[in-house]
Structure 1
Amino acid sequence: MLINQGELANFTGKFRWGHTAILHVLSKFDNEAGAGPEFPCFFGRSAVKRGKLRFLLIPYDFGTSRYELELLSCGLRAYIEQIDTDALDIKRHRPLLVLFEPVANFTTDHFKQVFIEAMQFLIDEDRRPWPAHVPKDPTHHSWTMCFHGCELFVNVSHPAHVVRRSRNMGAGLAFVINPRKIFDIAAPADERGRAITAKIRRSIDIYDDVTHSPFLGSYLLGEAQWPQYMIPDNNEDAPLECHLHFK
C-alpha cells in the first residue's frame, strides 16, 4: 500500500507503528524554528514542502522473524508504474520512502542483512528482464540496482547511524528510493551539476557529526553505486560487500 504524504491516518493492526514512523521522518525536515542546520538534501526538503513524499510500510513478522518483503516488491512495482521515467521532472518528482517496522535490539549487522535480503528478493521476484545495458556485476562502475525495468538508487538509513545523522530516519531501517536518472537531472555532469553536488556535501558536513562519506559519487562520472547505498557511520570502515547474485 503506497501512502501519500498528505493522506496520513492512524494505522491499525500490523501497520500501527507506521504513523509514528512517518511523523518522525517528516520531523527531520521541519526546521521552522531554526534550531539547527537544515536537512542537507534540498531536493528532499523541497519534496516534503510540496507534500510529494510517498511511503511504503514493511511490517515485521515476529513469528517467522522476517520482514514481509512481498509488500516491498508489490509496492515498489506499483510506484514504478506510476512514474514516467522518460519524462522525469525534479519539481514534480515523488521520492519513495520504504519504512521497516522497528525491531528492538537490531544492530548494524541486522540492518545490513535485511538490506541485502531485500535487494536479493527484488532481483528474484522481478517479473521483467534486467535492463540489457546495465551489467549484473555490482562492482562495475555502470551497475545500478534495477527493478521492474527501472534503474534505481537506494539510499539506506538506519538508527545505528549515530554521527551520520542524515542517514538516520528513525527507530527502524529505511530505504529512500528514486529512479536513478532523477540524479542525472538534478546534478548533471557539468559545471552546474558539480556546484549542486558540492553544495549538498557541504551541507552534509554541517548537518552530520562526521564529514560526508568518501564513497559518495556520481554515476555519470563512472563512480560505483553499490558502495553509496549503505555507507558506514564513519569514514574509516570499508564499504559493504555485495552478496547479490543473479539467475
Structure 2
Amino acid sequence: MLINQGELADLTERFLWGRAVILYILTKFEDEAGSRAGFPCFFAQNAVRRGRLRFLLVPYDLENARYELDHLACGLRSYIEEIDIDTLDISHHRPLLVLFEPVPSLTTRNNFKQIFIEAMQYLLDHDQRPWPSHVSKDPAHHTWTMCFHGCELFVNVSHPAHVLRRSRNMGAGLAFVINPRKIFDIAAPANRRGRAVMAKIRRNIDVYDDVSHSPLLGSYLLGEAQWPQYMIDDNNEDEPLQCPLRFY
C-alpha cells in the first residue's frame, strides 16, 4: 500500500500496523532534548516538515511465512512512474520509505539481511523494463546502482538491530529508504559545495549516532561503490556485505 505522509487515516485493516510504525518514524525528526543533534540528514528533515514523505507498506503473510513482495514491486513501480527524473528538485522531492510489517520472530541482523536480499532479487526477477544500458550489472563497477522500472535507485536499509547506528533504525521493523539516485547528484554534486554538504551530514551522523559514520559512505559521482552503502553494520570493523544478487 502506497500512501502519503498525511494519509494515515486512510489505512485499511490489513495495513493498520503501519500507523504505529509511521508515527514512530516521524518522532525521529522531532527536536531532542539535550546536546544530541536532530536527525543528521537535513534534506530528510525538510521533507518531513513539508509533509512530503511517501510510505510503501509491505505486509507479512503469516500462513506462508513470507513477506508479500508483490506489494513492494507494484508500489515501487507506481512511485517511479510519478517521478520526472529530468525535473527533480530537492525542495519538492518525495522520498519513499518502504516499511515491512514487524514480525516478532524476525529481529536479528541476519533476518533483515536475508529479507533485504530476497526483496532486491524479487525486484530484479519481476522487473518489466530492461536494465539501463549505461549501468553495469557488476556491483563492483563504478557505474553500478540498483535499478528498477528503468530508474536508477539508492537504497538505504534501516532495521532495529542497529543499536549504535541510530540513524539507521526506524523502529520495530525493517525499512528501506529509497530515492532516485540522481537526487544525490543534485543535493551533493561533485564540486566544492557538494563535498561540503556531504561533510556536514557526516558530522551530523557522528553526533547523532553512538558510532562514527561508516567509512563505506561515498559518492557515485566520484566513482565510489554503491552496494556496500545500502546495508551497513552497527560498527565500522566488519567487512561489507557481499552482493549475492543475480542479474540477467
User: Do they fold alike, i.e. is TM over 0.5?
Assistant: yes
The alignment's TM-score, normalised by the length of structure 1, stands at 0.97
Q: Which amino acid aligns with 2:63?
A: G
Structure 1: any 5+ residue segments left out of the alignment? Answer: none
SS state of the match for residue 84, structure 2? coil
- 1:1-247 to 2 correspondence within 5 Å? 1-9=1-9, 11-31=11-31, 36-106=36-106, 107-247=108-248
The alignment's TM-score, normalised by the length of structure 2, stands at 0.97
Aligned partners of 1:186 and 1:91: how far apart in 2?
A: 10
- CA drift of 1:32 comes to 6.8
- CA drift of 1:103 comes to 1.1
Structure 2: any 5+ residue segments left out of the alignment? Answer: none
Aligned partners of 1:87 and 1:39: how far apart in 2?
A: 27
- CA drift of 1:8 comes to 1.4
Aligned partners of 2:7 and 2:32: how far apart in 1?
A: 22
Q: Which amino acid aligns with 2:208?
A: Y
- CA drift of 1:13 comes to 3.0
SS state of the match for residue 6, structure 1? coil
Aligned partners of 1:33 and 1:231: how far apart in 2?
A: 28
- CA drift of 1:105 comes to 3.6
Aligned partners of 1:170 and 1:32: how far apart in 2?
A: 16
Aligned partners of 1:150 and 1:92: how far apart in 2?
A: 18
Aligned partners of 1:22 and 1:10: how far apart in 2?
A: 13
Aligned partners of 1:111 and 1:2: how far apart in 2?
A: 22
- CA drift of 1:11 comes to 3.3
The sequence identity of aligned pairs, in percent, is 73
> Structure 1 residues 152 and 227, CA, compared in 2 at 3 Å: closer, same or farther?
same
SS state of the match for residue 91, structure 1? coil
SS state of the match for residue 245, structure 1? coil
- How many residue pairs are counted as aligned between the two chains? 247
What root-mean-square deviation, in Å, do the aligned CA atoms of Structure 1 and Structure 2 show?
A: 1.2
1:170-216 superposed Cα distances (whole Å, 9 cap, x missing partner): 00000000000000000000000000000000000000000000100
Q: Which amino acid aligns with 1:100?
A: F
Query: For the Cα contact (< 8 Å) 1:162–1:168, is it kept in 2?
Result: yes
